[in-house]
Structure 1
Amino acid sequence: MQSAATTAAQHQPIEVRRVGIGAPFRWLAAGLRDMVAMPVASLAYGVIFAVVGYALVTLSSSRPHLLSAAVSGFFLAGPFLGMGLYRLSQCREAGEPTTFRDSATIWRSNPWSIGLFGVLLAFVLLSWERISAILFALFHGASLPVTDGGWTDVLLSAADPAFIAVYLAIGAALAAGVFAISAIALPLLITGPIDPVTAAITSVRATLANPGVMLLWAALIVALITLGMLSAFIGLIVAMPLVAHASWHACRDLTLER
């Protein structure tokens, strides 16, 4: 049974702050310092991201709608995948020692809320896979584009202008919604007994309070992860930990008084 104090803490509104337009670059700089201070643990996560990403894309390359869903998954599920890295940054900020193993089990600090948020992101990913399949079927019918080239060739082979326009419009709308509810939600969930609804609402409020800043932040994330993928996924070894560490500092900057 939860105590009344714990329940109240879970639902207490979290104050959000407005920050300057240059804040995303400050978050990246702080994230880079975290990586330099904890290179083994940070890059270990990066290697996992790169290997899993390469495997998913390779296995789905013969089915364009699955491939597009796998590529999009890096952006939609990124906040959940970075939890261990948030923990590393949290411990460094507090001056506490931690290990890769400790950071990998951070979900135990708030399992119910983190689990529910994970289910939400999984539902979004599955929904996007189905939407992707429907769009490919509507525009290409039974003649799905097939190529013997790499995964980028598979995507480019479907470059029908009308299809690309509709696909990007729907994908962008979905991605914007996911970004708004998750930009700082998971870093918040590892800090205490916060419920997923409060975390998601706080993330949306922070995004709406800083629209230009968060648009820039989203663009930087997309650019870094895209570059990581285009480098045969090797760049993800650095890009994913950098973005995750920086996301922790974004959360702190947007929700805490200095």
Structure 2
Amino acid sequence: MTQPEQTQPPQRASFLPPLLPVAWGAPFQWLAAGARDLRAAPGTGIFYGLCFWLMAVVLAAIFRNKPEYTMSFVSGCFLVGPFLAMGLYESSRRHEAGEPQDLGASLTCWDRHMGSMGLLVLVLLLLELLWGRAALVIFAVFFNTGMPATASVVQALFDPRNWQFVALYTAVGGVFATLVYATCVVSIPMILDRDTDAISAGISSIRTVVTHPGPMLLWAMLIVLLLLAAMLLPWSAGLLVVAPWLGHASWHAYRGCYGKQPA
């Protein structure tokens, strides 16, 4: 008597999109593509550039008056910035698809993805709160006689005797910045493009950084260097151009990692 043939259960498809190979020089290609998108929609770029510039102005005012809250506001910018850049992703998507540019469409592109974006906001808000609390604790430990004035903070940063404060403050900020970067680097454009759920998008974003650490580290360094250079100009005026440029380039970073969704 023959045994009935056993059939293998169907393999469940992965909920993560396939990740493409990424070359070391890819971040420079993303910047070039972002510059093309910025030239294609200068009005949209000016609007979002003004938004990011205002964030920098507020950050400078906080550092002058309440330096202990600087890291909290920086973490808030890490929270708001990627969602504000979603309008730039939409502008790049429309340019890629040959659709007309529309500032109104870039402002409302998030409303079709409320559920996924809301969950991602909660995750990033938790990281932001932890980051801000950690910064305050570090200040309280090293300045136990009271929160210092701005001049005292600047002096402390350049005082070799305070290397422990500087090292710990930088290390804690770096950990949280890395977590935010890894979670957001491609997750928000992926949600916009594929209507992916927040968990899949976040895991895909982290997987991108883990799988391609070299190019993604270079991309992070380019972002930081360009933003710092923009903020070193008087009144941080460079952000008017650099911020929207990086926003458009970030769309192409996502495209370079995951390509177009199959029809």
With the length of structure 2 as denominator, give the TM-score of the two structures. 0.86
1:82 and 2:85 correspond: yes
Alignment of 1:171-250 (within 5 A): 171-231=173-233, 232-250=235-253
Distance 1:181 1:155 in 2: 30
1:123 and 2:126 correspond: yes
Q: Which amino acid aligns with 1:218?
A: A
Contact 2:41 2:101 in 1 (8 A): no
Cα distance, 1:158–1:116 mapped onto 2, change above 3 Å: farther
Deviation string 1:148-195 (CA, Å, 9 cap, x unpaired) is xxxxx6752331211010011111111112211111000001113310
Contact 1:86 1:247 in 2 (8 A): yes
Distance 1:229 1:122 in 2: 25
Structure 2's unaligned 5+ residue stretches are 1-11
Shift of residue 45, structure 1, vs aligned partner = 0.4
Identical aligned pairs, as a percentage?
38
Larger of the two Rg values belongs to structure: 2
Contact 1:82 1:241 in 2 (8 A): yes
Distance 2:173 2:62 in 1: 22
Shift of residue 205, structure 1, vs aligned partner = 1.3
Stretches (4+) displaced over 3 A: 71-77
Q: Which amino acid aligns with 2:66?
A: R
Contact 1:21 1:212 in 2 (8 A): yes
Shift of residue 19, structure 1, vs aligned partner = 1.1
Q: Which amino acid aligns with 2:193?
A: T
Contact 1:57 1:71 in 2 (8 A): no
Question: For residue 94 of structure 1, what is the aligned residue in structure 2?
Answer: 97
Contact 1:117 1:196 in 2 (8 A): yes
Cα distance, 1:252–1:155 mapped onto 2, change above 3 Å: farther
With the length of structure 1 as denominator, give the TM-score of the two structures. 0.88
> What count of residue pairs does the alignment treat as equivalent?
245
Pick from 124, 133, 154 the counterpart of residue 156 of structure 1. 154
Shift of residue 202, structure 1, vs aligned partner = 0.7
Cα distance, 1:101–1:33 mapped onto 2, change above 3 Å: same
Pick from 153, 167, 170 the counterpart of residue 169 of structure 2. 167
Shift of residue 208, structure 1, vs aligned partner = 1.5
Q: Which amino acid aligns with 1:64?
A: P
Contact 2:55 2:77 in 1 (8 A): no
Question: For residue 3 of structure 2, what is the aligned residue in structure 1?
Answer: none
Question: For residue 55 of structure 1, what is the aligned residue in structure 2?
Answer: 58
Contact 1:46 1:237 in 2 (8 A): yes
Contact 1:30 1:249 in 2 (8 A): yes
Q: Which amino acid aligns with 1:157?
A: Q
Distance 1:186 1:66 in 2: 27
Contact 2:79 2:125 in 1 (8 A): no
Alignment of 1:37-76 (within 5 A): 37-59=40-62, 61-75=64-78
Contact 1:64 1:154 in 2 (8 A): no
